[in-house]
Structure 1
């Protein structure tokens, strides 16, 4: 799935910090510290990052496109 632009619960814009979150996560940083540094404070927004799939540099969208 493509990362959402807004949080599904509160509607806050969250996509603007996704690339930095993804990069720092791949560098081995703690997700909690990354979200704190990026000032993602609401638990509903944090959930959007925690539940998004990051697997071998492929997103779910990449897998779906193969079956088009």
Structure 2
């Protein structure tokens, strides 16, 4: 699933923060909560979108519609 451009609940624009979040958490091994704080994502609804996102594009890309 791709990260939505806006939060589902509050409507805040969050899509532009995904790449930095992913880079800092995976490559720099920083704490996800601290990264979200630094990015200004303080509401639970916005944080939930980032914490529950699963990147499945590689798995979905393998299947073809015939």
Instruction: Give the TM-score normalised by structure 2.
Output: 0.88
Q: Which runs of 5+ in 2 are unaligned?
A: none
Deviations along 1:18-40, one digit per CA (max 9) or x if unpaired, are 10000000121000000000010
Instruction: Give the TM-score normalised by structure 1.
Output: 0.86
Runs of 4+ more than 6 Å apart: none
The RMSD of aligned alpha carbons is: 0.9
Q: Count residues in correspondence.
A: 63
Q: CA deviation at 1:16?
A: 0.9
Report the Cα distance in structure 1 between the residues aligned to 2:6 and 2:57, rounded to whole angstroms: 18
Q: Which runs of 5+ in 1 are unaligned?
A: 54-58
